[in-house]
Amino acid sequence: MIMDIVKYGSNVLREKSKKIERIDDEIKNLLNNMVETMQNAQGVGLAAPQVGVNIRAFVLDIGDGNIRKVVNPEFLEFSEKLVEQEEGCLSIPGVYKKVKRPESLKIKYLNENGEEVVEEADGLLARAFQHEYDHLEGVLFVDKISPVAKRLVSNKLQKLKRETLKNSK
């Protein structure tokens, strides 16, 4: 089932999400729907708050043949080296800006079967893990862009927020 993607300006994107205590059929179903929603929107990742649910889960498809369903992620390590790359977000359509983040990392999470997975990631995968994890903390990539970039997108963000608030009435 394709779900509605929550857009910039909605409070659900700004809340800290709750840990998942048990991966039951409801959670598995939600993860499947999130994968379908992400693929339909041609996104690389989608976090639960983006479909209106404040729980610690996200899905990723960076095109490496491994569609990841990530529950209760925790970072174990970050590289000191930072890299800057352009990012976008399905909740902030039309906005693409560079964000500086650690180049590589180690992450631990549960897959949809409740098995612990530890992965080392760099490049797009490392970036996607960090971007989606931020969603679980109520953080958006536009919070992390340079002040100059922020000024450049502020009108667009204000417009998105107005539309989101109008649609939620």
b/e 31-64 (16+ beta carbons within 10 angstroms → b): bebbbebbeeeebbbbbbbbbebbbbbbbbbbee
Q: Which stretch binds Ni ion (CB under 5 A): 63-71, 87-95, 102-110, 146-154?
A: 87-95
Q: Which is nearer to Ni ion, 89 or 145 (CB)?
A: 89
Residues 136/16, Cβ–Cβ less than 8 Å? yes
For Ni ion, the closer CB: 48 or 89: 89
How far is the C-alpha of 24 from the C-alpha of 68, rounded, in Å? Answer: 17
116 part of the active site: no
Q: Is 89 in the site for Ni ion (CB under 5 A)?
A: yes
Q: How many residues bind Ni ion (CB under 5 A)?
A: 1
- CB 134, min distance to Ni ion, A: 8
**Residue with the closest Cβ to Ni ion?**
89
Report the Cα 131 to chain-centroid distance in Å.
5
Which parts of this chain interact with Ni ion (CB under 5 A)? Answer: 89
